[in-house]
Structure 1
Amino acid sequence: MRRRTFLAGAATAMAAGPAVLAAGGPAHAAAPASPAVTFTNPIALQRADPHIHKHTDGYYYFTATVPAYDRIVMRRATTLQGLSTAPETTIWTKHSSGEMGAHIWAPEIHFIDGRWYVYFAAGASNDIWKIRPYVLESGSANPLTGTWTEKGRIALPLDTFSLDATTFVVGGSRYLSWAQNDPAVGSGTNLYLAKLSNPWTISGTPVRISTPTHAWETVGHRVNEGPAVIQRGGKVFMAFSAAATDANYCLGLLTASASADLLNPASWAKSSQPVFRSNDATGQYGPGHNTFTVSEDGKSDVLVYHDRSYKDISGDPLNDPNRRTRYQKLYWNADGTPNFGIPVADGVTPVRFSSYNFPDRFIRHWEYRAKLEPNVTNLADSQFRVVAGLSGSGTVSLESANFPGYYLRHKNYELWVEKNDGSATFRNDATFSRRAGLADSASGVSFESYNFPGRYIRHYENLMYIQPVSTTLDRQDATYYSE
């Protein structure tokens, strides 16, 4: 049985991608292509609708909606976490009268053909709900200190409430997507798409690619807005925000083939359920209006979004200033689709642990028992926050992402995820010394039991235990990669 399990795992590993066969042992991969990235949330208080551009000059550029809705701010840093403390500059202020005089919303920063562009929505001073999309341009190397020119309003065939413009390139063509109300369709906003002839001018006739029809898109308001695109494996994924901007706010997902006619609405398939929504356990509410960026090494995709840390809002949610910008790693399922997981708790973001000798399998909990399994689409079951050890100096504990306050602990040498009961026994059982990987000291990690030195977290028949290690196979079973 043991031998059969390993051979099956080896076949799976080799089918999944490049692997090497250890002499006398199972297949194992090199360090993962997308190693762990962690952040400490929240990143920016009172900053909604965040957008980040990673530029070739080594800087990340960040902009977002401010609560006063009266200006466009920007900051930059060489690291994503560094944006949390980077100084902020106001690059543009609303007009004192007329167009662009109110409701300055959802700025996005893009670099197109050697120049900077900011897309944003604005109302008029005499009609604050006359929201339309506008564009700024700068030819300066540093957009925080450069001069910005108003390119004006993006002219749309339908002159109605419209906002949240974003731009992306597929197959050499540049597109603009945005949210807009069409009275002929009904109340609320739909998602539209058109090609661009230049960064501020659409060409051809826009097409409507999504209308709020599901129950989760119509709570409080009928809303599809905030499109954000990420591409992978020949697919175009467009996340969008839905429902009212309270705890019901959530993300849905549209998917199209990159080779399809994107201007044909039939090319786009919508998720039947939200892909990202409020979570009572982690205390995160109304996650939405996202964007995507990449880690500093370019190996990990990062989800950027806003939410609130409380569910109940007094008055109109638009008057509540406390939407915060947050990050977490975006993972990918085996079928090539993005897995957003859950909005994780404030503080350090969690990681996953893949097996050294079964690289497609992750430590996860199932009915609180710790196991090693592939294709964990319920992502948070396989995510753990590495926090200061509950016992001992220099140790760590592994806290469940979807059950905060629950930790990976051993009981009769078996590993379970259980709630911290405050006892010394629990603290000791849930504490480990992080060691260099016993089978890969350069990139791997192993965890030695705090109160049973010499015993390590290892898998056996796809269940997790703490056991002594002595053989090469033992050391492989007790080595993991952070992803």
Structure 2
Amino acid sequence: MAVLVGLAACLAGPAPAAQAAVPASPGVTYTNPIAEKRADPHIFKHTDGYYYFTATVPEYDRIVLRRATTIQGLSTAPETTIWTKHASGVMGAHIWAPEIHFIDGKWYVYFAAGATNDIWAIRMYVLEGTGANPLTASWTEKGQIKTQWESFSLDATTFVVNGVRYLSWAQRDPSVNNNTDVYLAKMANPWTITGTPVMLSRPTYSWETVGYKVNEGPAVIQHGGKVFLTYSASATDSNYCLGMLTASASADLLNTANWSKSSTPVFTSNASTSQYGPGHNSFTVSEDGKSDILVYHDRSYKDITGDPLNDPNRRTRVQKLYWKADGTPDFGIPVADGVTPQRLSSYNFADRFIRHWEYRARIEANVSPLADSQFRTVTGLAGSGTVSLESTNFPGYYLRHKNFEVWLEKNDGSATFASDASFYKRAGLADSAGVSYESYNYAGRYVRHYDYLLVVQTPSTATDRADATFYAQ
């Protein structure tokens, strides 16, 4: 019987073109910034369908919360002050870096604070909230998180791996001539660590020691059996950046030998997109739960007058976090203000994405750098209901056809360029869940790949239509 089935298959002719599954993580876009003058942002998606957002305010005097059913909605959501600094004594100055978590049926906010008689006596504190909505909850102070030393400590975050709850934070070792290292400990309850803390990272690389020797602001994301811990390094100006530690989720996380540290930063300032000092991040998920979202602050300019801590213009931003084929995160670059970019994968070559390579557009797998395969969908340069695809790492450069080949070129302002760089966004020719791009000035011609290069042609076969269909990711 198997032989007959095989013979029938051969007689039926060649198999149809391979088809990619609809992406598990479809495209999602947001418009940045999410919040002006809000640093050290933390966005938490709760089971009640709301996102909860807190951040450092430039006055350093209170803890604020917003909530919305969408990440974008946080930008216009009303803000509630849930706690204000003490008039005297501890918790009376430098209210920094709040995070909100929901643990065992109650809300907890972790934050750092100085004292009125010593504003640099920064320590970590916890608030506990009772009530379904933390904006209206009853909040009580659970006091200081005690660690191995009574020294400068801040940026507490908590996470669970394999049922065990941990606290990670930044603290100054009194015996070492630097600012802060990153530590980890298990928790006995949401405001108490247990056991001996371990140091996970100390600033030793050149990019961790510009201005100050700093590792701070730990944040954790888990993926594919791995634990990734990001942290911020160097001074809080344009040198601020993200580093990353990696461990297996099945390893003993309190054994520093089980963590590996990236020798280079994973997220840095980018002059082409006018984003400077990206850092103090957190992670959340998209509204459909299918995309990981990087949350961070930065500034829109490089040069700061005076102490960066006195500059109020760090703003909260978000963008999609992508994953490499080996299961590690790809942060890309801090994208330009405005709508965030997407990637476009091939319908019939699922691992290949539209990218530019030496300004020629093609499809390719394992794109590096990531930004070569990220494009902003913007209002078409030719108008008339069209769209244009703008490069992420070369703002002002667009995909355009030239002699029916697709290239990435800088907008020269001409009517010809505008026409060549404008497309009608159509439902995918091979799958309506995808997208196809019809040329504005050559009706019936679509962007497609041919020998992995992008061209503009009139599709006539099933293969043509498959080659002209893409998925937003």
Normalising by the residue count of structure 2, what TM-score does the alignment of the two structures yield? 0.97
Partner SS state of residue 290, structure 1 = strand
Q: Distance in 2 between matches of 1:23 and 1:422?
A: 47
Q: Does 1:165 align with 2:156?
A: yes
Q: Does 1:383 align with 2:374?
A: yes
Q: Does 1:72 align with 2:63?
A: yes
Structure 1 match to 2:91: 100
Tell me which amino acid in the other structure corresponds to 2:392: A
Structure 2: gaps (5+ residues): 1-12
Structure 1 match to 2:15: 24
40-49 or 24-33, larger mean C-alpha shift = 24-33
Tell me which amino acid in the other structure corresponds to 1:216: W
Name the count of aligned residue pairs. Answer: 461
Displacement, 1:23? 7.5
Tell me which amino acid in the other structure corresponds to 1:271: S
- The runs of 4+ residues in structure 1 deviating greater than 6 Å are none
Structure 2 match to 1:478: 468
Q: Distance in 1 between matches of 2:202 and 2:129?
A: 34
Q: Which deviations, in whole Å up to 9, do the C-alpha atoms of 1:232-289 show, x marking residues without a partner? A: 1000000100000000000011000001110011111111111000000000000000
Displacement, 1:26? 2.7
Partner SS state of residue 377, structure 1 = coil
Q: Does 1:411 align with 2:402?
A: yes
Tell me which amino acid in the other structure corresponds to 1:444: G
Structure 2 match to 1:341: 332
The one of 116, 127, 139 equivalent to 1:148 is 139
Displacement, 1:393? 1.1
**Structural mapping, 1:4-15, within 5 Å:** none
Partner SS state of residue 138, structure 2 = coil
Q: Distance in 1 between matches of 2:430 and 2:210?
A: 51
Tell me which amino acid in the other structure corresponds to 1:447: Y
Structure 1 match to 2:7: none
Q: Does 1:283 align with 2:274?
A: yes
For the Cα contact (< 8 Å) 1:333–1:377, is it kept in 2? no
Tell me which amino acid in the other structure corresponds to 1:215: S
Q: Distance in 1 between matches of 2:65 and 2:303?
A: 30
Structure 2 match to 1:40: 31
Q: Distance in 2 between matches of 1:451 and 1:163?
A: 57
**Structural mapping, 1:183-262, within 5 Å:** 183-262=174-253
Tell me which amino acid in the other structure corresponds to 1:57: D
For the Cα contact (< 8 Å) 1:357–1:477, is it kept in 2? yes
**Structural mapping, 1:359-370, within 5 Å:** 359-370=350-361
Displacement, 1:183? 2.4
Partner SS state of residue 416, structure 2 = helix
For the Cα contact (< 8 Å) 1:175–1:193, is it kept in 2? yes
Q: Does 1:449 align with 2:439?
A: yes
Structure 1: gaps (5+ residues): 1-21
262-271 or 183-192, larger mean C-alpha shift = 183-192
Tell me which amino acid in the other structure corresponds to 1:221: Y
Displacement, 1:475? 0.1
Q: Distance in 1 between matches of 2:199 and 2:312?
A: 31
For the Cα contact (< 8 Å) 1:135–1:150, is it kept in 2? yes
The one of 262, 287, 295 equivalent to 1:304 is 295
Partner SS state of residue 27, structure 1 = coil
For the Cα contact (< 8 Å) 1:420–1:427, is it kept in 2? yes
Displacement, 1:58? 0.6
Q: Distance in 2 between matches of 1:223 and 1:278?
A: 17
The one of 453, 456, 462 equivalent to 2:452 is 462
Q: Which deviations, in whole Å up to 9, do the C-alpha atoms of 1:100-158 show, x marking residues without a partner? A: 00000000000000000000000001000000000000121111011100000001121
For the Cα contact (< 8 Å) 2:20–2:346, is it kept in 1? no
Q: Distance in 2 between matches of 1:187 and 1:241?
A: 15
The one of 81, 88, 91 equivalent to 2:72 is 81
For the Cα contact (< 8 Å) 2:170–2:217, is it kept in 1? yes
Structure 1 match to 2:128: 137
Q: Distance in 1 between matches of 2:252 and 2:370?
A: 32
Structure 2 match to 1:14: none
The one of 100, 106, 111 equivalent to 1:115 is 106
Tell me which amino acid in the other structure corresponds to 1:146: A
Q: Distance in 2 between matches of 1:451 and 1:266?
A: 60
Q: Which deviations, in whole Å up to 9, do the C-alpha atoms of 1:285-326 show, x marking residues without a partner? A: 000000000001100000000000000001000000000000
Displacement, 1:29? 2.1
Tell me which amino acid in the other structure corresponds to 2:218: P
Structure 2 match to 1:8: none
Tell me which amino acid in the other structure corresponds to 1:467: Q
Q: Distance in 1 between matches of 2:139 and 2:185?
A: 25
Q: Does 1:63 align with 2:54?
A: yes
Q: Distance in 1 between matches of 2:85 and 2:62?
A: 6
**Structural mapping, 1:320-339, within 5 Å:** 320-339=311-330
For the Cα contact (< 8 Å) 1:339–1:377, is it kept in 2? no
Structure 1 match to 2:308: 317
Q: Does 1:436 align with 2:417?
A: no
Displacement, 1:383? 0.3
Q: Distance in 1 between matches of 2:414 and 2:50?
A: 47
Q: Distance in 2 between matches of 1:187 and 1:351?
A: 40
Q: Does 1:91 align with 2:86?
A: no
Tell me which amino acid in the other structure corresponds to 2:448: R
The one of 279, 283, 292 equivalent to 1:292 is 283
Q: Which deviations, in whole Å up to 9, do the C-alpha atoms of 1:331-380 show, x marking residues without a partner? A: 00000000000000000000000000001100000111101000113110
Structure 1 match to 2:364: 373
Q: Distance in 2 between matches of 1:132 and 1:43?
A: 28
Tell me which amino acid in the other structure corresponds to 2:223: R
Normalising by the residue count of structure 1, what TM-score does the alignment of the two structures yield? 0.95
Displacement, 1:31? 1.2
Q: Distance in 2 between matches of 1:459 and 1:44?
A: 39
Displacement, 1:185? 2.5
